[in-house]
Structure 1
Amino acid sequence: MHDYLSASSIIDFDHPEVLATAHRLAAGAGSKADIVRACFAFVRDEIAHSADYRRNPVTCRASDVLRHRTGFCYAKSHLLAGLLRANGIPAGLCYQRLATGDSTAPYCLHGLNAVYLADVGWYRLDPRGNKAGVDARFDPPREALAFAAHGPGEGDLPGIHAEPLPVVTEVLERCGSYQEVLACLPDLAPGEYDAKP
């Protein structure tokens, strides 16, 4: 579990603002599940999804997502992983491949999280942010994700990653506006991700 509890350049929960927020959200919690619920609700509801709100700047590091209160799904998952790890709760990153239109190409990756709960095991949760047609919740052991990846060409990428996929961070660090990100959303074809850890 060490890798899922560690800070890094992207999941920088050792940043003072991230640590302070993590501890504030955990204050008074009766259980680890209560801490997860509080951190999840904070990122889902208080951090604006960059595309939904047409908001810049483009963020990637957990501390930048917190500071600017905005991020794409990937960046929001970085912050949630950081808040959970700061509270000693193992957390990783997961990805889905989704159609960007009406169940056909083009496709893009969607970022979400997995958290380790002692009584459930690894459990996926999606802090993307709710809107019409999207109702993601923390409701273990039942998954209540933002999207179902069931269409042709769609799917859940295998594995729980301790660090973001390079294809994701490359887009977030290169693009200067949310419009640029939307024009080049990260994607991996099925043959490219089958072998990923």
Structure 2
Amino acid sequence: MHTESNNIQDYLKKSDVIDYDHKLIVDKCLELKEGTNDEISLIKKIYEFVRDDVHHSGDIGTQEVTCKASEVLEAGHGICCAKAHLFAAMLRYFGVPAGFCYQKLSSSRDVNIKFLHGLNAVYLKDLDKWIRLDARGNKPGRDAQFSIYEEKLSKPVSKELGEEDHPGIFTEPNPTVIELLKKSNNMKELWIQWDLGLKELFKI
């Protein structure tokens, strides 16, 4: 992995999508902070909240599409990339640097079909290292965990199947991904065009 920017402050910025000053996010962040006494335990608590308490839109069969961090929290669901927006926003609220990462993965229905998956990279100050965390949400066949020394993502990349990790840790979500999430009126519309994000990031 390599960072898009050498300035750690770029991984703390607020934006229209990473709207960590929204009241819903502030209130939830303060609630989750209770009982934590160090940064790593706080990161773990936020991660498990986004992973477990905020549903993956596809898992619950909703047609609503969310994008902004506050929208994801208010609706209680989002696809992988949208949940990554929320996770980053909550971490940035606490001054924890968080970036955006992407993978090209195979469809569970057909390994020849590839789709774009979004997750996060988080900078641990005490250890001076970036780790990747996947808050997609677990289900049979998906088992992401909070892990500092060994990655435990939702689905390990299989190069034999043509899957790939994008090496970048981006300061902001991919613009094409944001555009698709914002302009899609429902999940059906989103999935029809979702490969545009894949083509943008992996140049396929």
Q: TM-score, normalised by structure 1?
A: 0.91
In the alignment, the residues of structure 1 paired with residue 13 and residue 33 of structure 2 have an alpha-carbon distance, to the nearest angstrom, of 18
Match of 2:76 among 69, 73, 76: 69
In the alignment, the residues of structure 2 paired with residue 24 and residue 159 of structure 1 have an alpha-carbon distance, to the nearest angstrom, of 32
* Aligned amino acid, residue 150 of structure 1: S
Task: Quote the RMSD (CA, aligned, Å).
Answer: 1.6
Q: Aligned pair in 2 of structure 1 residues 15, 133: CA closer, same or farther (>3 Å)?
A: same
Q: Between the two proteins, what is the percent identity of the paired residues? A: 41
Match of 2:199 among 181, 188, 193: 188
8 Å CA contact retained: 2:176, 2:200:
no
Counterparts of residues 1-197 of structure 1 (less than 5 Å): 1-100=8-107, 101-104=109-112, 106-118=113-125, 119=127, 121-151=129-159, 152-185=161-194, 186-188=197-199, 192=203
In the alignment, the residues of structure 1 paired with residue 59 and residue 117 of structure 2 have an alpha-carbon distance, to the nearest angstrom, of 14
8 Å CA contact retained: 1:54, 1:178:
no
User: Per the alignment, in what secondary structure is the counterpart of residue 143 of structure 1?
Assistant: coil
Kindly tell me the number of residue pairs found equivalent between the two proteins: 192
In the alignment, the residues of structure 1 paired with residue 63 and residue 202 of structure 2 have an alpha-carbon distance, to the nearest angstrom, of 33
In the alignment, the residues of structure 2 paired with residue 188 and residue 99 of structure 1 have an alpha-carbon distance, to the nearest angstrom, of 14
CA displacement 1:140-192 (0-9 Å, x = unmatched): 11111001122433101121111111121121111111222223223127762
User: Per the alignment, in what secondary structure is the counterpart of residue 102 of structure 2?
Assistant: strand
In the alignment, the residues of structure 1 paired with residue 97 and residue 33 of structure 2 have an alpha-carbon distance, to the nearest angstrom, of 15
* Aligned amino acid, residue 153 of structure 2: L
The answer to which of 155-164 and 68-77 deviates more is 155-164
Structure 1 outlier segments of 4+, above 4 Å: none
In the alignment, the residues of structure 2 paired with residue 70 and residue 154 of structure 1 have an alpha-carbon distance, to the nearest angstrom, of 26
Q: Aligned pair in 2 of structure 1 residues 12, 190: CA closer, same or farther (>3 Å)?
A: closer
In the alignment, the residues of structure 1 paired with residue 150 and residue 34 of structure 2 have an alpha-carbon distance, to the nearest angstrom, of 26
Q: Which runs of 5+ in 1 are unaligned?
A: none
CA displacement 1:20-74 (0-9 Å, x = unmatched): 1112111221210111111001100111100110124200000000011010000
In the alignment, the residues of structure 2 paired with residue 7 and residue 55 of structure 1 have an alpha-carbon distance, to the nearest angstrom, of 28
The answer to which of 181-190 and 47-56 deviates more is 181-190
User: Per the alignment, in what secondary structure is the counterpart of residue 199 of structure 2?
Assistant: coil
